Structure 1
Amino acid sequence: MRKLHQVEAGQIMNTRWMVLGLLVAMCGCGKGTSPQPAMTPPAETVDVTSPKTMEVTTTVMDYQGIQMLVESYRGKVVIVDYWSTFCQPCIRELPGLVELHNKYPGTDVKCITVSLDYAGYPDEGPETYKDDVMPFLLQVGATFDNIIAADDSDTMLKKLELAAPPAVLVYGRDGKLAKRFDNEDAASEAEGFTYHDDISPLVAELVKAKP
């Protein structure tokens, strides 16, 4: 099962890098199949041979630990992006989180990614998924908190009351959830949320709300 999983993952990742290298224009894995206009490549991509890539790390953490991490950043605007390497809208939109990280100082905004790749197979642990998630995190330059969920994907989705990623949770400086973005009610991919149109304006508003 794991061998088949790795083969499929490799094929998907190869396709992703080719597409990301050209335009980062992928179709959704959500509820719609409508073609999307080409997306502008991330403003900054990271050369994997650069010393800066040493700043890109991953940590295995369970659901409770993730909530504690968010709480530890109280006083700042916190953005938590739940994603998967098998979710095409996730891959398309996550560079927007990197742009927000680069735009605001750490005193105002904290960014977190949570990979939901871990499937819970008995012969592997969540740490074995590092090789699956790191290539993309390195590619976009995700130099902030990157979590691999210790709970399997089904468990995480149930706790999040989510059918499938992507989902982005934005917390205000008071530590309370300001808004959750997901594609649960989207009739087509064209109706899915974006960082540019939906998340960035909210973050800008929350940043202005000084404690």
Structure 2
Amino acid sequence: MSAKSLCFVCCLILLHGCNQNTPAPTTSPETEAAPETAPATVEKKEPAIPGAKTFEKDGVTAEIANWEEAQEFIKKQKGKIVVVDLWSTWCEPCLREFPQLVALQKKYPEKVVCVSFNLNYIGSKDSPPESNSEELMEFYSKQKADIINLISSTPDEELYESLNLAAIPAAYVYGPDGKLKKRFDNEKQEYGEEGFTYEKHIVPTIDKMLKSTPKPEK
């Protein structure tokens, strides 16, 4: 083959190569950008007391309410046992037993509703019910009190008188029918010098009530 012919063949080869479509680069599945996902949403809790002033800290909430409003809430808990614990931050036995109230809710999350009803409010115009909210929310947060926390808007002595209750601690246990089944207090000293406790008295009462409660028909 002459040099001229060889040069002509080489040009044809180069021309053919330049006309080839270069395939677009592909991205491997490993390097594909993940589709953006919507941020997770936190379900907002409905207030136990409609229209009540509410406080929140670290996912734990508390509401200002009076005893009558608490009773209305209890009536709505059909089919569930409700435990209402009356307490204050200056009541040592109350503080000692509070973690057991929280534990009871965790033990029976679907069958029992635990309510803490704080009685720090003494009726002073200079110290309304919400004046203790910062202290109380700090306490609720430390206790991880993911229960119904109510701050009484009724002065403590006024409530004691209306309930015929001498002092706290006290706990009210309501049956699935919404009626009061048992009031625990230390007025008659029937629970000894230590007084009633959740472990020895309230939890066994709840266990017994749950065993005797007929199961709902499917």
- What is the TM-score normalised by the length of structure 2? 0.68
In the comparison of the two structures, how many residue pairs are matched?
A: 159
**For 1:95-174, what aligned pairs fall within 5 Å after superposition?**
95-105=99-109, 107-174=110-177
**For 1:57-96, what aligned pairs fall within 5 Å after superposition?**
57-96=61-100
Conserved 8 A contact 1:85-1:132: no
* Secondary structure, counterpart of 2:61 in structure 1: coil
* Larger fraction in helix: 1
Provide the residue aligned with 1:182 in structure 2. Answer: 185
Match of 1:203 among 206, 210, 216: 206
Question: Structure 2: how far apart are the matches of 1:177 and 1:76?
Answer: 12
RMSD over aligned Cα atoms: 1.9
| Identical aligned residues as a percent | 41
**For 1:8-87, what aligned pairs fall within 5 Å after superposition?**
54-87=58-91
Of the structure 1 ranges 90-99 and 187-196, higher mean CA displacement relative to structure 2 is found in 187-196
Compared with structure 1, are the counterparts of its residues 188 and 202 closer, same or farther at alpha carbon in structure 2 (3 Å cutoff)?
A: closer
Provide the residue aligned with 1:193 in structure 2. Answer: 196
Larger Rg: 2
Amino acid corresponding to residue 138 of structure 1 in structure 2:
S
Query: Would you identify which runs of 4 or more consecutive aligned residues in structure 1 move more than 3 Å?
Result: none
C-alpha offsets along residues 34-62 of structure 1, whole Å, 9 cap, x if unaligned?
xxxxxxxxxxxxxxxxxxx6331110001
Gaps of 5+ in 1: 1-52
Conserved 8 A contact 1:60-1:126: yes
Higher relative contact order (CA 8 A, sep 6+): 1
Gaps of 5+ in 2: 1-56
Compared with structure 1, are the counterparts of its residues 129 and 97 closer, same or farther at alpha carbon in structure 2 (3 Å cutoff)?
A: same
